[in-house]
Structure 1
């Protein structure tokens, strides 16, 4: 399927039943849809879908069964996205992501409130936990860019929050498109400090286009500006275009600031990453080796060696891969996700 399709339904038709497998995301274009679901305290509830509103998003992105039944009232037209189409559609529409976060936050607060009422604990107001939960759902399902954005927002709006260390670790990993760490402890509810955060204030405000942050004011022709453009292209899976920019940056010798030098270093690493994503493992190995030669104490050293190991494994060079995975385990920090994955790979290749 090359894009979303329109489905027309007759009155009384069922779009999906509760417990159905979730594979599609829907937008109501015309008519009326009623969602019927059971609340935490066992009551049956009904909710109207507004024109232009998405439904079926959480279960589809979370890869779990439908939590409600969606039924047509009167004839209706619905736009249907496959999950990958939806992710591509919203990838550069931050205001839509914010709008969905608002909806998810509201729904999660309702669930928390109902649970706490049942337990006699009063009302809970913890948007920080809800944001972390949404971020981790994105991450677990391979939506790295959405996850990284949500973790970044947590760090920005809750710099002293209960989950800030976890958010930073998962942001670093998801922004590099590393798999969700298998050895991390499950996310558990923790009460934050009193008072609304910037995020909670933002979620109460009307959904508008977000203001550009300071990074958006970069000179697009500067070295950091070109790197930012290349990284955006890579995140949009436009690997050929991104690779050309990273290649040009990697050969720059006219850096005048620390920011320029750091952007060039990152470009050398990301050039190898782009080639790995394109399954050009020989070229990726060469690029990653070039990074280590130029930056033997660089910030991406451990990540580079890990990618050298993965490239060797993909090229069928088992012994070389084992040696490189072992080198990864010897680099600090000794308790991070990459070390755990390298150890698992060594056992797998033994």
Structure 2
């Protein structure tokens, strides 16, 4: 076994794209790499890889496609392991294994909280209903692939269930990426007589208990819990509620951890985006300008300048908007979709 190799990347390079086949595991040796991914609420997030930190581990070990895009900012040097090399490397390094398990556990707890927040339910009712409800929540939030998978699971486990016709109809629409139809009545809970899939029921009961335990130990006023709640409101189109919570998070200064600092920073951007989405361009411009002053090297700087340009254009200040779009187009990385959108906007405004 030859061991890891060293790769050098230029600024703007993509180490891997979301949904790429996962075969390698990476360690950042020098420079900066940013991971971009979408959380369960449909909100795009960015995360910096720290020097000496592994990335691409879960997808490579699990042998499933990448869940995020890894992009180089500036230049970077990384070590690249094949899975067998990585397994051999960590086999006698217990501290690394424990560290990775803690990270994965934390991510799972976050997903549990977000799912519970989206469902808006206190306790599980019936496995068949829960499965349909999860499928429809995914569908309403525009996550067509997950929705279609969940509808298929319902039809597979409950071929004679009371929601079969509804599941078939919504599966067909979701598979064609048609928005959730407004004419469909609200899903109503009905007991499922004869639903005897013991393994599935037991699994869902166990998950419900685990979720209860996780939620009971989470401080609802913690930065991450509030951020997740605001993201849910924003994704549901409740921009006023989202903006209020993002504002409270962006102003937090009490014993903020390094991990929470990113939530605080992101909240200022998403507060501005909520204002923009609700049509309050004046507030959006003020908030985006505040982000740029406070975080001149922030992870969401380029997105912030772009949205500032959008709000400025919507306010009728076309010349200023063009100047902002021009600035967006030259901010690194130069070949991403935001730069392309900015260039098209310049042509459109002119």
Category of TM-score, reference length = shorter chain:
0.3 to 0.5
Using CA pairs below 8 Å that are at least 6 residues apart, which structure has the higher relative contact order? 2
Calculate the TM-score normalised by the size of structure 1: 0.44
TM-score (norm 2): 0.44
